[in-house]
Chains A and B, each alone.
Chain A
Amino acid sequence: MTSKPRSATETIRNLWERLLVDPTLGVISLLLIFALIAAFALPVFYAGNNIYNLVGSSITVMILSIGMTVVLISGGIDLSVGAVMALCAGVAATVLKMGAPLFVAFVCAILVGIAAGLLNGLLVTRVGLPDFIATLAMLGFASGVLYIATQGVPIIGYMTSEYYIVGGLDPLVGPVTFPILVAVVLALIVGWVLSRTKLGTHFFAVGSNAVASRQSGIPVRWVKTQAYMLSGTCAAVAGIILAGRNNNVPADLGTGYEIQAISAAIIGGASLMGGRGRVLGAVLGALTLALAINIINLAGVPSSFQKIVIGVILILAVIANYLSELARGATQRRRAKRLSSIDA
């Protein structure tokens, strides 16, 4: 069946077809289009640290969307990521203020994130609440706790020189900041989990058909719970970084992040119906969002238009993903036809 390419044209055709059948084709083309617009229409795009800042500003959403992708793949949705992220940021800042070392503060924040995810998972799988309701309740709960703890006054005075590095305000090595490093490592780990571990396959199976998964012996409830715990962990990591980047933790730090995280995951090809999604897609999705917001900022459009832009990009992305799905189908048909004609 698999014939080796015999000529240069065939090699090119195979490469081209590989690109056409790639599930991230939609988001890649969207990203390219925006980059081209920026490059030609806005010379200021390359000025100063713009691109550097752009990447830095996308990291929080990127980390959240990596966890969100896993939840979406397993057939759920996590509306609590923004609130949990803010709560974890508050925990890290408070523990630091009490004089604990950075490491201890981070462990505390991450434990809170995992606990929130576990609670989400238990509410969904054991109590039987719909994903939407359970995580909406967690959103309210987490942001409520942060409000009460801060009494509406932002937490300040926890920054140390190391925390400037963690927040990405000071670079780590050369131009690479700590948040970029964390995002890359996290993306690689979660991507590896999804494509190369049993748990990853179970995420896809459960999201594709939970009842059939149970019939085939997959511990469906535990798998779903783990997806939420992973999302909670990502929220905690994002919170730790955002607390450093932001210099203070206001009670409404997380507001709106859940929408951006879901948008980035969907732009990256995840399906709300479950069973589909890619970490690389989520990473590119977060970059696409940041790039679009950057473009309208540079173009002098009022920042209040950002939300509209996010909405429009979401629609464009779904269309782009649909088109790439069509291209994939057509390519597979062509290839199958060619293969069968070779066989004959």
Chain B
Amino acid sequence: MTDRAETPSAQSLVLEARGVTKHYEGVTALDHATLAVGPGEVHALLGGNGAGKSTLISIISGVTKPDSGKILLGGEVMPASGPLAAISAGISTIYQELSLVPALSVLDNIFLGREIKRKTLGLPLTSDRRSMELAVRDLAADFGVTANELHTPVSEFGALKKRSIEIVKALAFDPKVLILDEPTSGLEDAERQVLFGYMRSMRERGVSLVWVTHHLEELFGLADKATVFKDGRTVATVATESTSIDKLITLMFGADREEFGGGDTRKIAHLQPSSERPVILRARNLTRGSVVRDISLDVHEGEIVGLAGLAGAGRTEVVRTLMGLDALTSGSVELNGRRLSLRNSTAAYRAGLAMLPEDRKQLGILADLSTAQNISISRLSTVTAAGFWMSRRKELALAESYRGQLGIKTPDVNARIGNLSGGNQQKAIVARCLNTSPKLLIFDEPTQGIDVSAKVEVHALVRDYAANGGAAILIASEIEELLELSHRVLVLKKGQIVGEVRNIPAAIEAGEFARIKSEVLTLSAAGQAS
């Protein structure tokens, strides 16, 4: 709590958190955390996964009760009596996972639970959609939602529009504070800019924004202040104009920035061209309807092949066919010269393929199972005695060895994996893949939704895997990440390969990062299939 920027006097604060402490099953999520947000301020909350940001906003928005400490709104203590009380007191929250009901219209979503009623037979039973529309029409227009769209089901809109609808929904009830939890996740670059415009116009309306983000570069020019959390404690509150990404990272992780977002301290672990090494995976003319069209690719020993492309280009679809998760219309796959029949994922794993799926929560973790079970699940024969019955001792030993090797932070590998932070869950799933001793490992968005320090660690895991002779396919939406890790990048568009960029490590070494980046981006956007 040193190094604090000038603190406004308590009276002028809109939102304040004092000494907030919260324990979850054996973990201290918040330890006397503090926060002070002034009126009309964009206030960023920063910190690694598990730093306590999410817990703090869930306490502020009334979802979670703190063990001790208090939240003050406009100088008055808020009773901890649930999310509805927080909303009516003037604190609205837009969560990372969108909380709209897909089947309902935009208007019904905005007024969900707070409908304007009209009297029928003397009772306020009927929703008065006309009054509701009148009440929000102008506001909605300001955030790009037209009067027509108000009556369309939410399920028909994309990520940005849904975010706008959430904003309108929040602003419709004049909040004093609006909490945004990773609002840019799932948005394309151009959409982010639109969202930032919306955030500025909310600030002009006098709403204080509390903004949780992992993307430090987004802060500058938009956030007024940033409060950094680490291990559940408030480290510092700084004015963004007088700080830098490096300083913030030092505050967040206590160490100097290393390997983050294309910095020049980047390490290239493996420079040798790998095209002379033996081919591990040889895929020919993979086709699945119109989603995957005539894809042929080779992956050599020790090589990381990146798949680039815009959203919807078919990157995940290609690897799903390799894993037997989706059936091929035509095409063939050889692994170490042996033809594979890709009936289902079990056969794929047995043949020596493994995949780290995108969307860790939905596709990755088995939340009810322990960390140890999550690690061994893809090859249980590694933890069985006589190949048949499970040995808890072996399971524990295996989990402990990966815990040490990959730096999985958990007090107890036998506790449910759901309690771990995102980065540690991801490392456990990397362990799950490694435990199958795969000949080819597919990483689909390996660092999605995990914090910067865990990102660096996962990058190291990917590199180590290839450096030890493994073959890998990598999908990453962040172009910098893709280029830093891949030896070779194939660019996809509409299910087809539209280009290839080779010898990436050498190019980066020669200082041509910007050139290959623009080459890949150009191909992704405008490439033509040969």
Contacting B at CB under 8 A, from A212-242, are: 212-219
Most chain A beta carbons < 10 A, residue from B27, B377, B412: B377
The answer to whether B432 touches A329, judged by C-beta atoms less than 8 angstroms apart, is no
Contacting A at CB under 8 A, from B453-488, are: none
**A70→B191 CA distance, assembly (Å):** 47
Of A212, A216, A333, A339, the residue contacting B23 (CB under 8 A) is: A333
The answer to whether A205 touches B363, judged by C-beta atoms less than 8 angstroms apart, is no
The answer to whether B377 touches A216, judged by C-beta atoms less than 8 angstroms apart, is yes
Q: Is A275 interfacial (CB 8 A cutoff)?
A: yes
Q: Is B235 interfacial (CB 8 A cutoff)?
A: no
| Chain A residues whose CB sits within 8 angstroms of the CB of B380 once the complex forms | 198, 201-202
| Chain B residues whose CB sits within 8 angstroms of the CB of A332 once the complex forms | 25-26, 415
Chain B, 383-413, contact with A by CB distance < 8 Å: what is the 0/1 string?
0100011100000000000000000000110
| Chain B residues whose CB sits within 8 angstroms of the CB of A205 once the complex forms | 366, 369, 373, 377
The answer to whether A209 touches B365, judged by C-beta atoms less than 8 angstroms apart, is yes
| Chain B residues whose CB sits within 8 angstroms of the CB of A36 once the complex forms | none
The answer to whether A212 touches B26, judged by C-beta atoms less than 8 angstroms apart, is no
| Chain A residues whose CB sits within 8 angstroms of the CB of B105 once the complex forms | none
| Chain A residues whose CB sits within 8 angstroms of the CB of B54 once the complex forms | none
Contacting B at CB under 8 A, from A176-211, are: 192, 195-198, 200-202, 204-205, 207-209, 211
Of B325, B354, B390, B436, the residue contacting A198 (CB under 8 A) is: B390
Determine chain A's interface SS by DSSP, over half rule: helix
Q: Is A278 interfacial (CB 8 A cutoff)?
A: no
| Chain A residues whose CB sits within 8 angstroms of the CB of B364 once the complex forms | 212, 215
Contacting A at CB under 8 A, from B326-346, are: 344-346
Query: Given the known A-B contacts A195-B390, A198-B380, A217-B346, are A207 and B357 also in contact in the complex, defined by CB atoms under 8 Å?
Result: no
The answer to whether A196 touches B365, judged by C-beta atoms less than 8 angstroms apart, is no
**A196→B436 CA distance, assembly (Å):** 20
The answer to whether B27 touches A336, judged by C-beta atoms less than 8 angstroms apart, is yes
| Chain A residues whose CB sits within 8 angstroms of the CB of B23 once the complex forms | 333, 337
The answer to whether A336 touches B411, judged by C-beta atoms less than 8 angstroms apart, is yes
Query: Given the known A-B contacts A197-B388, A197-B389, are A217 and B366 also in contact in the complex, defined by CB atoms under 8 Å?
Result: no
Contacting A at CB under 8 A, from B345-363, are: 345-346, 348-350, 354-355, 357, 362-363
The answer to whether B25 touches A201, judged by C-beta atoms less than 8 angstroms apart, is no
Residue of A nearest to B353 (CB): A217
The answer to whether A214 touches B325, judged by C-beta atoms less than 8 angstroms apart, is yes
**A276→B26 CA distance, assembly (Å):** 22
Q: Is B64 interfacial (CB 8 A cutoff)?
A: no
The answer to whether B384 touches A204, judged by C-beta atoms less than 8 angstroms apart, is no
Q: Is A307 interfacial (CB 8 A cutoff)?
A: no
Residue of B nearest to A222 (CB): B346
Q: Is B381 interfacial (CB 8 A cutoff)?
A: yes
Q: Is A335 interfacial (CB 8 A cutoff)?
A: yes
The answer to whether B344 touches A333, judged by C-beta atoms less than 8 angstroms apart, is no
Residue of B nearest to A209 (CB): B366
Of B348, B349, B363, B381, the residue contacting A212 (CB under 8 A) is: B363
Of B350, B366, B373, B390, the residue contacting A197 (CB under 8 A) is: B390
**A197→B380 CA distance, assembly (Å):** 9
The answer to whether B390 touches A201, judged by C-beta atoms less than 8 angstroms apart, is yes
Most chain B beta carbons < 10 A, residue from A211, A215, A340: A215
**A131→B377 CA distance, assembly (Å):** 25
The answer to whether A213 touches B366, judged by C-beta atoms less than 8 angstroms apart, is yes
The answer to whether B367 touches A209, judged by C-beta atoms less than 8 angstroms apart, is yes
| Chain B residues whose CB sits within 8 angstroms of the CB of A197 once the complex forms | 388-390
Query: Given the known A-B contacts A215-B325, A215-B345, A336-B27, are A198 and B366 also in contact in the complex, defined by CB atoms under 8 Å?
Result: no
**A337→B390 CA distance, assembly (Å):** 31
Contacting B at CB under 8 A, from A140-171, are: none
The answer to whether A335 touches B366, judged by C-beta atoms less than 8 angstroms apart, is no
| Chain A residues whose CB sits within 8 angstroms of the CB of B350 once the complex forms | 217
The answer to whether A217 touches B348, judged by C-beta atoms less than 8 angstroms apart, is yes
**A305→B529 CA distance, assembly (Å):** 74
| Chain A residues whose CB sits within 8 angstroms of the CB of B363 once the complex forms | 211-212, 215
Contacting B at CB under 8 A, from A1-50, are: 1
The smallest C-beta distance from B295 to any residue of chain A, in angstroms, reads: 20
Residue of A nearest to B364 (CB): A212
The answer to whether A208 touches B25, judged by C-beta atoms less than 8 angstroms apart, is no
Chain B, 13-44, contact with A by CB distance < 8 Å: what is the 0/1 string?
00000000001111100000000000000000
| Chain A residues whose CB sits within 8 angstroms of the CB of B365 once the complex forms | 209, 212
**A197→B355 CA distance, assembly (Å):** 24
Listed from nearest, the 5 A-B pairs whose CB atoms lie closest are A336-B26, A217-B349, A275-B368, A208-B368, A198-B380
Q: What is the interface of chain B, defined by CB distance below 8 A to chain A?
A: 23-27, 323, 325, 344-346, 348-350, 354-355, 357, 362-369, 373, 377-378, 380-381, 384, 388-390, 411-412, 415, 432, 436
5 pairs, CB–CB < 8 Å, chain A vs chain B: A198-B388, A332-B25, A333-B23, A333-B24, A339-B411
20 extra A-B contacts, CB within 8 A, seeds A197-B390, A204-B366, A218-B377: A1-B412, A201-B369, A201-B380, A207-B368, A209-B362, A209-B367, A212-B363, A214-B345, A215-B355, A215-B363, A216-B349, A216-B366, A216-B377, A217-B346, A217-B378, A217-B436, A218-B345, A275-B368, A333-B26, A335-B26
